[in-house]
Amino acid sequence: MLQATKVSKYFDHSIAVRGVSLEVRPGEVVGLVGESGSGKSTLLSLLAGLHDPDEGTVLFQGERVLGPSQQLVPGHPQIKLVHQEYQLQPNITIRENIAFALRYYEKSFRDYRVDQLLKWCRLESVAGRQPRTVSGGEKQRAAIARALAEKPADDHPAVLLLDEPFSHLDLPNRILVRDLLLDLVEHEQTGCLFVTHDATDALAISSRIGILQAGRMIQLDTPRNVYHRPVNTYAARMTGPANLIRAKHLHLLGVQTAYHPNAVALIRPEHVRLTEEGPFTGTVRRVFFRGAGADVELVLSRYVSLIIHADGNTELATGQAVRFDLLPGAVHWLKE
């Protein structure tokens, strides 16, 4: 559906995107995770035809996506980019914002399509209000509805690109937008790619996740594989809580290894369990209650501490000595 092959972009002798290749298929959600400055927004602009790639190509349904140097109006009509700022027109209603994308269509179709999107995007109750009077989540859903309003003339559905769609939203609205994306991808048979610096939502709804580091796509795989088998310490940190321990300290966890003493191992918090008969001991330094569970920081030595997950009903106090064990396969070796 949408395919990038070895795409690069340079700005003032610096490289924003370096040889990135990926594809978005109909009916799937792809999440790209990276820290600020990793090239996420630049990559979206390249995919949408808003920047010319300095190297590589972008294809939509096998045809090249032209950049602004090759056409008068930048962008591709079937590649819809939703920016962080939503870019809704402030002085007209939510309904009118969505309808504006359909201004060249017959009124009967326009009304039908707007009603359909208002219902799907759970915006019926605010359809008559202006953007400044609605919540961030409602603005985000309105921007998505507007982007998908226009039905393509042929049989090819649009591709939806989202720049940090969850960054300004509280938890209830994050859940609403997450559910909306999955519903729209299913009903419209579109493809969706979004970028984020927080992997929580990407892990939850993506078919595949890519990790961007300094403009490079260092890993692209299923959420499960990226989370459990990250390629390096950056990917491990970007995808969730990570205990990164040097090989020379793993004797504290009963792990014998032939790796270099400074090699780094990953142990996810959920791969450590508290048990009264556990072979290892630690001292509770902090407890971060999370409702259904708690994140517990255990001190093992002067140089080593672990974050582990505990049941929400487990009562632990600072300074308490506890015993624990590692689950099988808990240790995964990383590149730095």
Of 276, 255, 260, whose CA–CA distance to 331 is shortest?
255
At residue 185, what are phi and psi to the nearest 5 degrees? -60, -40
Which pLDDT belongs to residue 58? 94
Which pLDDT belongs to residue 74? 82
Task: Taking the CA atoms of 57, 62, 63 and 65 in sequence, report the sign of the dihedral they define.
Answer: negative
Angle at 46 between CA 42 and CA 51, to 5 degrees: 90
SS3 for the chain is: CEEEEEEEEEECCEEEEEEEEEEECCCCEEEEECCCCCCHHHHHHHHCCCCCCCEEEEEECCEECCCCCCCCCCCCCCEEEECCCCCCCCCCCHHHHHHHCCCCCCHHHHHHHHHHHHHHCCCHHHCCCCHHHCCHHHHHHHHHHHHHCCCCCCCCCCEEEEECCCCCCCHHHHHHHHHHHHHHHHHHCCEEEEEECCHHHHHHHCCEEEEEECCEEEEEECHHHHHHCCCEHHHHHHCCCCEEEEHHHHHHHCCCCCCCCCCEEEECHHHEEECCCCCEEEEEEEEEECCCEEEEEEECCCCCEEEEEEECCCCCCCCCEEEEEECCCCCEEEEC
Which pLDDT belongs to residue 178? 86
Convert the pLDDT of each residue in 291-305 to its tens digit.
Answer: 888 899 999 998 899
Which pLDDT belongs to residue 336? 66
Convert the pLDDT of each residue in 239-276 to its tens digit.
Answer: 999 999 999 999 888 888 888 989 999 999 999 999 98
Of 206, 196, 267, 192, whose CA–CA distance to 238 is shortest?
196
Chain region(s) in the chain for CATH 3.40.50.300: 2-238
What superfamily in CATH does domain 243-334 come from? Nucleic acid-binding proteins (2.40.50.140)
Which pLDDT belongs to residue 144? 86
pLDDT tens string, the chain, 336 residues long: the values are: 899 999 999 988 778 999 999 999 988 999 999 998 888 999 999 999 999 999 999 999 889 998 888 887 888 888 988 887 788 999 999 999 999 989 888 999 999 999 988 988 889 999 999 999 998 889 988 988 888 887 655 555 678 899 988 887 888 888 888 888 888 888 877 889 999 988 888 998 999 999 999 999 999 999 999 999 999 999 999 999 999 999 999 988 888 888 898 999 999 999 999 998 889 999 999 998 888 888 999 999 988 999 999 887 788 889 999 999 999 989 999 876
User: Which two three-digit tokens encode residue 92?
Assistant: 């007209």
- pTM score, whole prediction: 0.85
CA 211 to chain CA centroid, Å, is 9
Residue partners of 111: CB distance under 8 A and separation at least 6: none
Q: Is the backbone of residue 12 left (phi > 0), alpha (psi -120 to 50) or beta? A: left
CA dist., res. 70 & res. 63, Å (int): 14
Chain region(s) in the chain for CATH 2.40.50.140: 243-334
Angle at 50 between CA 67 and CA 159, to 5 degrees: 100
R_g (Cα) of the chain, nearest Å:
24
Q: Looking at the domain that runs over 2-238, which CATH code has it been given?
A: 3.40.50.300
Which pLDDT belongs to residue 18? 93
Which pLDDT belongs to residue 55? 94
User: Which two three-digit tokens encode residue 222?
Assistant: 């299923």
First vs last Cα of the chain: how many Å apart? 34
